[in-house]
Amino acid sequence: MGGEKEQWFGPGETARRLGVTTKALRVYEREGLVVPHRAESRWRLYGPTQIARLHQIIVLRDLGLPLKSIKNLVGSHSRLRDILRLQRETLESQQDKIRRAIVLVEVAQRQLYEGRDLSLDELVILTKETLVQQSTDKKKFLARFEAVIAEQDPTGQAGRTFDGIKKDYGDDAHKAALKAMMAEASRLKEAGDVNSEAAKEFVRRIRSRTAGIRHSTPKAEQEQIRNAYAKTLAEAQARSEPLSFDPAVLEFIQQVAAGMKERGELD
């Protein structure tokens, strides 16, 4: 079973070390996601190859992907590198929120120790800012989104295209502009008029900003990315996960654009 330094574990020890149940290991085996080694006694054993595969599975499960999707993603070392990158980004995105939450809790503790009650506003802020819900994190949603893109496009071209988009539009200036535009889109959605001049002018600006992407990206890849987004969003909503953005706002803008296309106001 390999060299002397190679370690092998039974199901119980493997489950304990990885923080899962032996039942989960059996499910992963039944679904063809991992194949344990069989000793002469037919006892299941897990070595480095199986442990590496289980790591990928567990990370992708934590990102919210179903087993069917995971089956299309796990396997190669290049996939493991991608998965480790997604995991790192997801964990890093939690750090700042956790640090802020700890500071808020410490401030509240000091205030109570000093005999001062927390105001209603302080309680609201404490509740909102100290509930660490991984599912609401933007980077976690993005990680799932990227994983679905990879699942739906085995060639990897759509994923590389999306990486290029993130690189071109991921600097602070673009992020600030996007945040301002989302706030504007939210106000337009609250007004509720899909035929307003303000809403149509907003769509024109959006299309102007994204013209480079549309012209340089093949339509097939654009469609794959849109479908991956729709699937990621649907899965998050099916699990009743609170999101860091309002899907209804994006749906409103899509309705505005669709109406403009029908009237011949857009190319």
Domains of the chain, by residue range, sit at 11-63, 171-267
Residues 6+ apart with CB under 8 A from 132: 94, 97, 98, 101
Residues 6+ apart with CB under 8 A from 129: 97, 100, 101, 104
- Looking at residue 238, its pLDDT comes to 72
- Looking at residue 29, its pLDDT comes to 92
Least confident of 33-47, 81-95, 150-164, 247-261: 81-95
- Looking at residue 129, its pLDDT comes to 66
Task: Find how far residue 125's CA is from the centre of its chain.
Answer: 25
Average pLDDT (73-91) is 67
Greatest mean pLDDT among 135-149, 210-224, 231-245 lies in: 210-224
Model confidence at 240, in pLDDT bands (50, 70, 90)? low
Task: Please write the tens of the pLDDT for every residue from 130-162.
Answer: 655 444 457 678 878 888 888 777 778 888 888
Model confidence at 5, in pLDDT bands (50, 70, 90)? low
Residue 28, token pair as written in the block: 């992963």
Question: Does residue 34 carry a pLDDT above 50?
Answer: yes
Task: Find how far residue 198's CA is from the centre of its chain.
Answer: 32
CATH class name, domain 11-63 = mainly alpha
Which percentage of the chain shows pLDDT scores above 70?
84
Question: Does residue 255 carry a pLDDT above 70?
Answer: yes
Task: Please write the tens of the pLDDT for every residue from 96-131.
Answer: 777 777 888 888 888 888 888 877 777 767 666 665
Question: Does residue 2 carry a pLDDT above 60?
Answer: no
Largest CA distance in the chain: 75
- Looking at residue 140, its pLDDT comes to 73
Which percentage of the chain shows pLDDT scores above 90?
11
- Looking at residue 42, its pLDDT comes to 82
| Pairwise pLDDT comparison (124 vs 45), residue with the higher score | 45
| Pairwise pLDDT comparison (90 vs 76), residue with the higher score | 90
Average pLDDT (190-197) is 90
HEC letters along the chain: CCCCCCCCECHHHHHHHHCCCHHHHHHHHHCCCCCCEECCCCCEEECHHHHHHHHHHHHHHHCCCCHHHHHCCCCCHHHHHHHHHHHHHHHHHHHHHHHHHHHHHHHHHHHHHCCCCCCHHHHHHHHHHHCCCHHHCHHHHHHHHHHHHHHHCCCCHHHHHHHHHHHHHCCHHHHHHHHHHHHHHHHHHHHCCCCCHHHHHHHHHHHHHCHHHHHHCCHHHHHHHHHHHHHHHHHHHHCCCCCCCCHHHHHHHHHHHHHHHHCCCCC
Residues 6+ apart with CB under 8 A from 229: 145
- Looking at residue 36, its pLDDT comes to 93
Greatest mean pLDDT among 22-36, 73-87, 242-256 lies in: 22-36
Q: Can you give the pTM of this predicted structure?
A: 0.53
Distance CA 114, CA 205 (A): 53
